[in-house]
Structure 1
Amino acid sequence: MQYENYQAFLKKSDENGIFTFKLPNINQTVFQTIITYIYTGSVDLTYKQGDEIFYILFASYKFSLGALTKFTEKYLIKNHSKYLRKYSVEILHNILYTNYTSDKLQELCLDTICYEPKLLFHANNFARLPTPLLEIILKRDDLNLIEIEIWENLIKWGVAQVSRQLSNNPNEWTKEDFTELERNIYNLIPLIRFYEISSKDYFKK
Structure 2
Amino acid sequence: MQQKLYLSILNNFEILYNSKKNYDVIIQTSEENKVIYAHSLVLCCQSSYFDTAFSDNWAEKENGKFIFKKPNVSYRILKIIIRYLYCGQIDLTIRSGLDILKLLAAADEFGINTLSEYIKEFLIKNLKDFLQNDSLKFLEFVFQHETFAVLNDYCLKTICQEPMILFGTDKILALPEHILETLLRRDDLALDAIEVWNNLIKWVHAQQPTVNKDPSKWTKDELTLMERTILKFISLVKFYDIPSEEYYEEVMPYEDLLPKKLRNEILKSYLAPGKQMKSPSRSSVLVNDEHLAQFASWIYKKDEILQKIPYKFNVIFRASIDGNTAADFHAKCNDKGATIVVAKIKGSNKVVGGYNPLDWNGNGDKSTPDSFLFIFEDYNNICTGRIGRVIRESHAVRCLTDYGPLFGSYNRGSNDIMVTRDGKWSSVTNSYPNINIPRNFVIDDYEVFQVIKK
TM bracket (short chain): 0.7 to 0.9
For 1:50 and 1:193, the matched residues in 2 are separated by: 37
Which structure carries more helix by proportion? 1
For 1:144 and 1:45, the matched residues in 2 are separated by: 34
May I ask how many residue pairs the two structures share in their alignment? 200
Aligned amino acid, residue 107 of structure 1: D
Q: Is 1:173–2:218 an aligned residue pair?
A: yes
Displacement of 1:102:
3.1
Displacement of 1:67:
3.8
For 1:36 and 1:11, the matched residues in 2 are separated by: 22
Q: Aligned residue for 2:68?
A: 20
Q: Are the structure 2 counterparts of residues 186 and 46 from structure 1 closer, same or farther at C-alpha, using a change threshold of 3 Å?
A: closer
**Amino-acid identity (%):** 33
Displacement of 1:154:
0.7
Q: Deviations over 1:134-182 (max 9, x none)?
A: 11111122222210121121111112212x5233211221111111111
What CA RMSD, in Å, does the superposition of the two structures yield over aligned residues? 3.1
For 1:184 and 1:99, the matched residues in 2 are separated by: 27
**Secondary structure in 2 matching 1:135:** helix
Q: How does 1:1-205 map to 2 (within 5 A)?
A: 2-6=46-50, 12-13=59-60, 18-24=66-72, 26-28=74-76, 30-39=77-86, 42-45=88-91, 48-51=94-97, 52-62=99-109, 65-78=112-125, 80-81=126-127, 83-86=129-132, 87-103=134-150, 105-162=151-208, 164-205=209-250
Decide whether the 8 Å contact of 1:3 with 1:65 is kept in 2: yes
For 1:121 and 1:8, the matched residues in 2 are separated by: 46
Q: Are the structure 2 counterparts of residues 84 and 3 from structure 1 closer, same or farther at C-alpha, using a change threshold of 3 Å?
A: same
**Secondary structure in 2 matching 1:121:** coil
Q: Aligned residue for 2:268?
A: none
Aligned amino acid, residue 203 of structure 1: Y
Decide whether the 8 Å contact of 2:128 with 2:158 is kept in 1: no
For 1:182 and 1:126, the matched residues in 2 are separated by: 19
Structure 2: tracts of 5 or more residues without a match: 1-44, 251-454
For 1:188 and 1:18, the matched residues in 2 are separated by: 53
Q: Deviations over 1:61-99 (max 9, x none)?
A: 355544432221113334x35533524554332211233
Structure 1: tracts of 5 or more residues without a match: none
Decide whether the 8 Å contact of 2:59 with 2:68 is kept in 1: yes
Which structure carries more strand by proportion? 2
Between Structure 1 and Structure 2, whose CA radius of gyration is higher? 2
Q: Deviations over 1:170-205 (max 9, x none)?
A: 122111111111111211221111221234422321
Aligned amino acid, residue 57 of structure 1: L
Decide whether the 8 Å contact of 1:161 with 1:181 is kept in 2: no
